Amino acid sequence: MQKTYTNPVYDYIHSPDQDAVSPTHHPVVIVGAGPCGLAAGLDFALQGVSTVILDDNNTVSVGSRAICFAKRTLEIMERYGCADRMVDKGITWQLGKVFFQDDLVYEFNLLPESGHKQPAFINLQQYYFEEYLVDRVAEFSDIDLRWKSKVTEVDTNSERTRIKVVTPDGEYEMTCDYLLVADGANSKIRTMLGLESKGQVFQDRFLIADVVMKADFPTERWFWFDPPFHRNQSALLHRQADDVWRIDLQLGWDANPEEEKKEENIRPRLEAMLGKDVEFELEWASVYTFQCRKMDNFIKDRVVFMGDAAHQVSPFGARGANGGIQSVENLAWKLARIVRGEAPPALLETYNSERQHGAEENILNSTRATDFITPKNHISRVFRDETLRLAEHYHFARRLVNSGRLSLPCSYPYSPLNTDESANFNSALCAGSPPKDAPISVDGQPDWLIRHLGNHFTLLVNAESIDPAQLAALQDQKDLQLLLMSQNEVSREMGKLGTILQDAEGLISERYDLQPGRAYLFRPDQIVTARWAQLDSEQVKSAIQKALGFELETAA
């Protein structure tokens, strides 16, 4: 059915591990070459840890599947080296509109402020996303991506994990320090280990269809409640690359999935929505029952679960793939440092605690959206419809309308890795916050702050009135890079200590309240972990030790 994209077929390559007399050992093995598995391989490679990625298929996903990629995901992809291709191919948007019956209720802007390198959202079919990740993976010798390699047995304990892999050439075994599982919502490895993903199944069905058409619709997110072309149900329209448009139509719990997927049944629904005079071709279709669920613990001995294998949400709000990528970036820097012997094993538990918080936040928002979109009784329907009527005229009611609270970056305000602060900042970017980008200048060339964060601990300092001795005392601190903001000429001595940047439009000072002498410490996943009103090198060193989990080990 797919007309605008031909899936690549990747070669199966015989591995030397298959000929080894005894199982070969690897630090990290990843199961699943979807978005999360591939992203994890890239993150580890950037931090000096080799990985093996196993996938039982030999191509990327069939059908567009996840299509909405948020600004935070694009910032992470910038670090991985994939963002430019995604933005160039994808459809950039930031305006959404909500309709009720025949009327436009209101519209919203997801990125009203300027001064960010990445857009609020792009729409891009998942198969392109995966293809770009595969291409990027091929650039790293530290990543061994093995297609047509199915994991059929897993045995794990507190020391290591053993797996059996079946290939076209037969089966073999491997061992690893850590097995990362990204094999999807119906994870076979989760089942092998007797683990569950618990939550709610919503008693409704949705048709998701991709159609190829040249249309005059603007590049916006349009959501309808009870539209004239699909009475008593909901509908969603998004534009993707290659003149492909995503259409979601609520069907009801009684709909027969197999019947609804047939083109002769889909076409009349689309004609009612688009008009009989609009020419279109059906590209791909599927019928979904939405679920919000997660594992109670994402870690079992030396096995760590990621993405849909760990947590699953309904599509409204684009929180599935975006949340999964945030889990990957949370995990990789921690596990990389454990594997390299630079952090205690106790650090890994903070992946579970921080991303349980992230999963709960995503599930809460997805559940609320699904409940609003699909009222379960008459009173709920009356409340929803009256809210929509009020929203057309009153701003307060618009906050109650929920067509999907779109993905936002997760914060970790209660993380045990944070260093408490005593100073008052006129900025919400406290410890646990994701970064805010801003235009900068380095050596007279325009640049972006976000490109200088990540992979290492990063100290951002307003170097005006800073004692160079405080910075010099950090030169022996492993895994730390310095960003020194100064609008004036700096001394030769200061220039040797770190990267000198200028606040091109004053937005760093504004967004971080970065007055002279103040400093922010970012984790390798770009999350703020500490900030100070006055830089003190010893406090920076202590904050890094805390962020690496050494206080957790002491407490245990």
Residues present in the chain in total: 556
550 pLDDT exceeds 90? Answer: yes
348 pLDDT exceeds 90? Answer: yes
pLDDT, mean of residues 413-437: 92
Question: Going from the N-terminus, what domains does the chain have, and what CATH number goes with each?
Answer: 16-91+119-197+297-367 (3.50.50.60), 439-555 (3.40.30.10)
What's the token pair of residue 167? 């290939």
Confidence category of residue 553, pLDDT binned at 50, 70, 90: low
What's the pLDDT tens digit per position in 441-475? 998 899 999 999 999 999 999 988 788 888 889 99
The strand pairing partners of 531, in sequence order, are 520
Q: What CA–CA distance (Å, rounded) separates 19 from 23? A: 9
Q: Is 55 left (phi over 0), alpha (psi -120 to 50) or beta?
A: beta
Secondary structure (DSSP) of 265-298: HHHHHHHHHH-TT---EEEEEEEE--EEEE-S-S
Contact status, residue 19 vs residue 171, Cβ threshold 8 Å = no
Indicate if the alpha-carbon torsion angle 367, 369, 374, 376 is positive or negative: positive
Spatial neighbors of 167 by CB under 8 A, at least 6 apart, are: 12, 14, 18, 146, 148, 149, 150
* Confidence at residue 466, expressed as pLDDT on a 0 to 100 scale: 82
Q: What CA–CA distance (Å, rounded) separates 96 from 110? A: 8
Q: What CA–CA distance (Å, rounded) separates 107 from 109? A: 7
What's the token pair of residue 458? 């990063």
Q: How much is the CA Rg of the chain, to the nearest whole Å?
A: 25
Spatial neighbors of 264 by CB under 8 A, at least 6 apart, are: none
* Confidence at residue 201, expressed as pLDDT on a 0 to 100 scale: 80
What's the token pair of residue 151? 């994991």
Spatial neighbors of 466 by CB under 8 A, at least 6 apart, are: 484, 516, 517, 535
* Confidence at residue 296, expressed as pLDDT on a 0 to 100 scale: 96
Q: What percent of the chain has pLDDT over 90?
A: 74
What's the pLDDT tens digit per position in 281-312? 999 999 988 788 999 999 999 999 999 999 99
* Confidence at residue 217, expressed as pLDDT on a 0 to 100 scale: 82
Helix 35-46 × helix 126-137 angle, to 10°: 30
Q: Is 551 helix (H, G, I), strand (E, B) or coil?
A: helix
Strands 234-239 and 221-225: antiparallel
pLDDT, mean of residues 111-128: 91
Return the ∠ at Cα 31 (arms to 30 and 32), rounded to 5°.
115
Q: What CA–CA distance (Å, rounded) separates 5 from 257? A: 25
- Burial of 112 by CB count in 10 Å (0-12 exposed, 13-18 middle, 19+ buried)? exposed
What's the pLDDT tens digit per position in 55-70? 999 999 988 788 999 9
Q: What CA–CA distance (Å, rounded) separates 378 from 16? A: 63
What's the token pair of residue 406? 């779109």
* Confidence at residue 1, expressed as pLDDT on a 0 to 100 scale: 61
pLDDT, mean of residues 516-524: 95
Q: Is 222 helix (H, G, I), strand (E, B) or coil?
A: strand
